[in-house]
Structure 1
């Protein structure tokens, strides 16, 4: 008789995975008292956006990356179309509406084969966007987040713990650690896991992460990464943000730690989540890249809607 494999162990919560304390209520009050996250948005028109370009289609064996905005990419790899943390909504709860439009119109998308979710914060898991997907779409999600999708009728939902993997259409997806946390309501802090994804063995999507030793661990387990999609925004005030988000300089160092050949910037220019000037994330990333003496062509500081090719 064939015996079913035992179900993976899932703890009550994942607080033991935290590498820094969560913000205390008095710290939240301090941020609010000092003006909160209200930078001058007068530079919003300087955020580069490619309008009306459609979505290029990958040639046979080619990998294409298109930045939609924030942490959303269209990744065309191995004949699949994959979305990372898809957010096409104009507004998410608690903050002003997006500064720049999605870089790819929803109507320009081909069939979406898979969606990868890094964690359940509202700027990464957007219910209105998820509802637009066919219910047969493969949804690859952190441990204990699967019920959120099955309640909405999705039939191919795969929960992964760190270092677990799955395959969709011949392409491998590996869930990897991050220095972050999760919460969607006041009652579910760290009840679901958080992390990043290695797609097809070549594309590392970091989701949200602070700087720490887990980035080097990813590089050790996944040598030969072609590109790291790294967050570079939401880092000021640093005393408050550094436990959950890398600064631009830390993003560059984190890319080096993973061993990735290139770095693409994300998590800036879309939503106002922090106090740094709007263009500072990409400007400081360029400065850090230059200080390390790295080839300029290997820094993909993409415009919203821009596509780059990793080649065959």
Structure 2
């Protein structure tokens, strides 16, 4: 059975791309998304993680898929929180984060409504009938979402870049979408001309007179299919506001804590970090692209974040661990590190977190 038929037959085609599986050729080929100068993370054709690890290949994907060890998820895992009704605006130095699901967070501060990696679709997949399916509905109904000013799309995996949602948001709110290099070629047809801004690692852009967006490295990769691996960039974002700095990572491997230490050295104290801590088993396969709860806690410490909104768990089944295992592992890691659980909030859909003003 060839690779394409296997992925369709197994139902993991959509899973392999966001969770880090299916491999395209690593040889040089024309880049369909980006044509720019060589840099310390772009070789002229593909982006890469400096001093990092390559994503796994197709043989390793098969080893994972047929290796067993998958914990069953329930078909439905409802959130204990009802659908949220966010405020129209949050002014001044107040900071409120509302969990929609997976890596979709509504960030409200300084009069801005910022949405990260928005996915309202039922599946994180290129196919409407296969691939990871939600086990709980979005924590904010699209109709109840306040007007969005800025959307941050960290990379192009299907559990982070959902064209149907982006099209709906662009039509409704005419929002400005920021994304790393190359992803504009994917998003542009859905969002419309002039509403997608691309950024390279180290770039900055003003959102208002006193809010600045910074594009920063993370250890991940990209692909929408089998022939575009690493042809668009991935990133984290840091939002500099009058009420403090907000660090958002959609996906990352821990990468020896290099990027966490760098963000602290460059930007100083962080009021809130939005950190992924799910979709991490088996470690031999997922380590380069998805940190586990213990590594997320280490990242909190290394970055100097006062508080964390934990995400990337409990909505789409991407990997081997059970639906609630990330929470139990996170609580153990926090207790072992002597960090209060109230400082690292494992958010559920519909949950709203008003981040304290004081630093720890």
Q: Matches of 2:300 and 2:98 in 1, distance apart?
A: 19
1:147-206 deviation digits (Å, cap 9, x = unpaired) = 222233142221111111111233211111111111111111111111111123511111
Confirm whether residue 207 of structure 1 aligns to residue 250 of structure 2.
yes
Q: Matches of 1:42 and 1:82 in 2, distance apart?
A: 31
Q: Is the 8 A contact 1:18 1:179 kept in 2?
A: no
For structure 1, the 5+ residue unaligned runs are: 1-6
Which stretch has the larger CA shift, 113-122 or 93-102?
93-102
Confirm whether residue 19 of structure 1 aligns to residue 29 of structure 2.
no
Report the secondary structure of 1:220's partner residue. Answer: helix
Q: How does 1:175-254 map to 2 (within 5 A)?
A: 175-201=215-241, 202-212=245-255, 213-254=258-299
Confirm whether residue 42 of structure 1 aligns to residue 74 of structure 2.
yes
What RMSD in Å do the two structures reach over aligned CA positions? 2.0
Q: Matches of 1:22 and 1:132 in 2, distance apart?
A: 32
Give the aligned partner of residue 202 of structure 2: 163
Q: 1:167 to 1:191 in 2, by over 3 A?
A: same
Q: 1:59 to 1:138 in 2, by over 3 A?
A: closer
Q: Matches of 1:59 and 1:143 in 2, distance apart?
A: 30
Confirm whether residue 145 of structure 1 aligns to residue 190 of structure 2.
no
Which stretch has the larger CA shift, 129-138 or 158-167?
129-138
Confirm whether residue 108 of structure 1 aligns to residue 144 of structure 2.
yes
Report the secondary structure of 2:143's partner residue. Answer: helix
Give the aligned partner of residue 3 of structure 1: none
Give the aligned partner of residue 29 of structure 2: none
Give the aligned partner of residue 28 of structure 2: none
Q: 1:125 to 1:22 in 2, by over 3 A?
A: same
Task: Give the alignment's TM-score, normalised by structure 1.
Answer: 0.91
Q: Matches of 1:29 and 1:206 in 2, distance apart?
A: 28
Confirm whether residue 96 of structure 1 aligns to residue 132 of structure 2.
yes
Give the aligned partner of residue 214 of structure 2: 174
